[in-house]
Every structure is written in structure tokens, then in C-alpha cells.
Chain A
Amino acid sequence: MKHLALIVRTLAAWSITLLIVFPLIWLVITAFKTEQQAIAIPPQLFFTPTMESFHEVDERSDYFLFAKNSVITSVVSTLLGLLIAAPAAYSMAFFRTKRTRDILMWMLSTKMMPAVGALVPIYVMAQTAGLLDSLTALIIVFTLSNLPIMVWMLYSGFKDIPPDILEAARMDGASIWGEFLHVIRPLAMGTLASTGLLCLVLSWNEAFWSLNLSSAKAGTLATLIASYSSPEGLFWAKLSAASLMAIAPIVVVGWFSQKQLVQGLTFGAVK
């Protein structure tokens, strides 16, 4: 009876999972096909894999420019965000006042604004400042839209550091800078890393702002993939190859930041 339950559970879990992930598996398979094989009827499961599409992706579109833009915008916005968020979270966690809670709640509420609500003013501002289709505009927008999540995650991480350690350091005459550098930083590295990782994922996959604010010059991989939408021909192998290159690195990063994802996106409401 127990054995039967286990077998049923195993089979059910595996088959449902494979069904859900099937589109992704298909994407990976198609990326290694030629264009003819990609649209063959019936679909081919067995074929000689080729790297052809990966080479052609860069000829059709300047793949590496978009990849570079994605790396720059997500890395810079993450670092910039950490730089702004870490001191704030530090201050809230270790110098709690009556207002700390209100400030945290208010920061959270800024994340509740739907992106489309700010589309018009941000677009007009970027246009006026000559920042349309610029990396600067994307970096600023990514940083700001992730900032509440970053402050929140760092705050909950810092809060778990026992205050006794800080007391001891202060008694020994550590300055606030020394305290941060020698006591907090080593203990908070994990929190900083996981917060950074989550924001990297969010910025990399961001599509609303990058589609609206950038195109050929500052476009990220999300905009490049969107350009494959046009019905000018069937190029599924190339689409798959381009998509695979765009999502593979971040899916792997994502696997490692699962826990932080729940904590970050639910603002600690689910534990």
C-alpha cells in the first residue's frame, strides 16, 4: 500500500513536471536543429544536432550588443541598488525608531504602483532629457523599481544579526564605519549576495520598461527576442537559439535564488 502510493506519487509528479517544462525542453531541442528540421511535420525528436542557429543569430541581429546591454543594465542597477539600499537597511535594522516601521511600509507601497501607471511621465521625462534608448534611463528605472525589494530583504537579513555582537564591538570602541566593515559586513555577506542575485534576475528579465524605453541602441535581450515576433518568415531554430542564450544563464542563477525569491517578492510575508 505504502509502496503503491510512492510509485503513484513519483509517476504523477514526474509526468506533470515534464508536461509543464515541456515548452522549455522543446526550446532547447529546437535550438540545435536546422530551420528545416524545426518546422518538419511530424516534429522530429531524433536528428543530428547542429550549432548552425547559434552562429546565425549574431548575423541576423547584433546579438552581442544586446547581451552586453543586458549585462550592463542588470549588473549596474543591482550594484547601484545595493549601494543605496544597504545603508538604509542597516540604519533601519540597528537604529530602530518609532518611524522605522512606517518607512518600511511606505517603501513597500511604492512597489505596489503598477508600472503602466508611471509609463507616460517616465517616457516624457526620458524624451525631454534625451535619454530615450539609453542605458542610463534603463539603469535608473531598474534600480528604482527594485529598490523597495532590496531594502526590505536587506533589512530582514540585518535584523537577524544578534545585537550583542554590535554592543561588544561598540564597547571596544569601534567606529560606526569599523563596525560596519568588520562586524556587519562579514555576517551580512550572504544577505547581500542573495539580494543582489534576486535583483539581477528581475532586471535581466524586465520587459515592460525595456520595450518602452529602448530599441536598437540600448535594447536588452528581452527587446531582441521581441523582435523575432514579426511574421517575416519561419526562423524558429534561430529564435530558440537566441532565447536559449538569453535565458540559460539567468535560469541557472534563478535555481540558486529560489528561497530569496519567495522572501523577496512576498516581502517576508511567507516563511
Chain B
Amino acid sequence: MNRLLPRALMAPAVVTLFLWMIVPLVMTIYFSVVRYNLMQPGPKDFLGLANFEYFVTDPDFGPSVLNTLMLLGSVIAITVILGVALALLVNESFPGRGIVRVLLISPFFVMPTANALLWKHMMMNPVYGVLAQVAIFFGSTPVDWLTDHPLFSVILMVAWQWLPFACLIFITSLQSLDRDQMEAAGMDGANALQKFWFLTLPHLGRPIAVGVMIEMIFLMSVFAEIFTTTGGGPGNESTNVAFLIFKQALMNFDVGVASAGALFAVVLANIAAVFLIRMIGKNLD
């Protein structure tokens, strides 16, 4: 009895998660090698690797991979660098620190569609938007952000959402920084920069690595921001891999090609996941 019960308690979670993982994966692999279009009923002929070839030779494929990497790289760079700077800034006490920290984290709790439209309309509108008004105030010409710099606009929205997350991780981690060591270093004549470089930064190495990998996994699937603002355009300028797969599946109804693309995305994400899982595993015992 004593060995059966623990397993029985675990079973529902294990079974549902196993199905959640394996069923979509097997279906995706199957769809990716057959002819399957939701608008063209017919036998699902075996196609071999034709769907993969189609997805990879799609003129939108190259740009979408590039855009995905640009989005990932830029957002990660912005959030990590600004996140560390902000965390250091609010780590020491000053009047209103509690309120500042609560305010700082807020953008992370704004749903992606509301975030996207807030920026699209009220911030980035080329005539009435706040950014346009600021530009006019300083005597320059307003920029039509979403038309002229679509990818940059999406990067800005996503970075705005994820900066608080990165910052919060670093704040949490800074609290476990050894104060005595810092003071000792100060007594020995280390200046602020040296203390940052030799003590703080090494301490933050791990949270930075974890933050980067988690952002990689979530940012691979950035979708709502693109869907509600640029629709991947103009042309393919702000289409990422996730949006390209969505277009193939639910706009061209080509399930086969979309599945081939999905497998590609899974492989990309797993490269990050392997490292992350190893790090977390080490921390487990």
C-alpha cells in the first residue's frame, strides 16, 4: 500500500502532462510528412520531406528566422543590461523604494494584447501619439514607428513587458549578496566599479543565465504583440517564426507545412532548454 499510494497520487499529473507532451508532438511529426490542407479535403498522401522543403524555401522563411533572432537578441540585451542597472539602483534604500519597486514590476502584469495596443495607438500613432508629440515639441519630425520601424516597435513593446521580470530576478538575487564581503572589499580600497566587476557581477552570473534562457523560451513564441499591431508586416518585416507558422496554419490552412515549421521551432527552443534544465537540475539537491 505504501508504495502504491504515492504513485497513485502522482499519476494524474504525470499522465496528463505526458499526453500533453506526446500527443501534439506525434501529431506534429505525422502532419509534417503528409499532404494536409484544412480547405482541401482528401487523402493525406505521404510527402516525405516536401513540407519541410516548402517551409524552408518560402521567401518569408529567411527573414522570419532573422527577425526571431533579432527580437530575441535585442530584447534579451535590453532587459538584462537595463535590468541589472535598475536592480542595482533600487537595491539600496531611498525614500519611496517600496513604491518604486511595485511600480517597476507593473508592466509585466499587463496582458500582451493591451500592452501592444497601448503602444500602437497611444504611444506610437504618428499624429496623435505621445512619441509624435514629444518629437514635435523638440522640433523634429514625428516617426511612423509601426510602418517605418515595425520590428523595432515590436522589440520595444516586448522589452517593456520583460524588463520588469529581469529586474525582479536581479533584485531577488541581489538580496542574497554577501554584505560583509562588500564592506571588506570597500575597506581594502576597492572602488565601486571594482566591487561591481569582481563581486556583484559574478554573483549575478547565474540569475542572468537563468533569465536569458527563460526569456529565450518565452520570446520564441512572441505572437500577440505582432498579431495585434503589425500583422507581421509591412511585407514580412516583423514576421517571426511563430507568426509564420500561424499564417501557414490558420490563414493558408496548410497544416502540413505549418507542422514542419513547428518542429523547426521546437528544435530551436530545445537548444536553450537543455542548458536551462541542466542548471536547474544542479540546483535541485
Contacts and interface: CB of A to CB of B under 8 A. Distances in A.
Interface of A: 6, 9-10, 12-14, 16-18, 20-24, 26-27, 30, 39, 41-43, 84-85, 87-88, 90-92, 94-95, 97, 101, 103-105, 107-125, 127, 144-145, 147-148, 151, 176, 201, 204-205, 207-208, 211-212, 221-223, 225-226, 228-229, 234, 236, 239-240, 243, 246-247, 250-251, 253-255, 258-259, 261-262, 265-271
A110 B111 CA distance: 23
B10 A116 contact: no
A119 B263 contact: no
B210 interface: yes
Given A107-B17, A243-B118, A120 B249 contact: yes
Given A226-B224, A254-B105, 5 more contacts: A20-B103, A116-B242, A207-B112, A251-B109, A255-B109
B160 A116 contact: no
B117 A243 contact: yes
Nearest to A208: B223
Contacts, number: 294
Contacts of A145: 20
Given A243-B117, A247-B110, A265 B103 contact: no
A10 B97 CA distance: 8
Contacts of B211: 266, 270
A250 B104 contact: no
A214 to B, nearest CB: 13
Interface stretch (B23-31, B53-61, B178-186, B194-202): B23-31
A226 B273 contact: no
A269 B227 contact: no
- Dominant SS at the B interface? helix
Interface in B91-147: 92, 94-97, 100, 102-114, 116-123, 127-128, 130, 133, 137
Contacts of A269: 206-207, 210, 279-280, 283
Given A105-B281, A261-B168, A24 B120 contact: no
Contacts of A255: 102, 105-106, 109
Interface of B: 5-7, 9-10, 12-14, 16-17, 20-21, 23-25, 27-28, 31, 38, 86, 89-90, 92, 94-97, 100, 102-114, 116-123, 127-128, 130, 133, 137, 160, 163-165, 168-169, 172-173, 176, 206-207, 210-211, 214, 217, 220-221, 223-224, 227-229, 241-242, 245-246, 249-250, 255, 258-259, 262-263, 265-266, 268-270, 272-273, 276-277, 279-281, 283-285
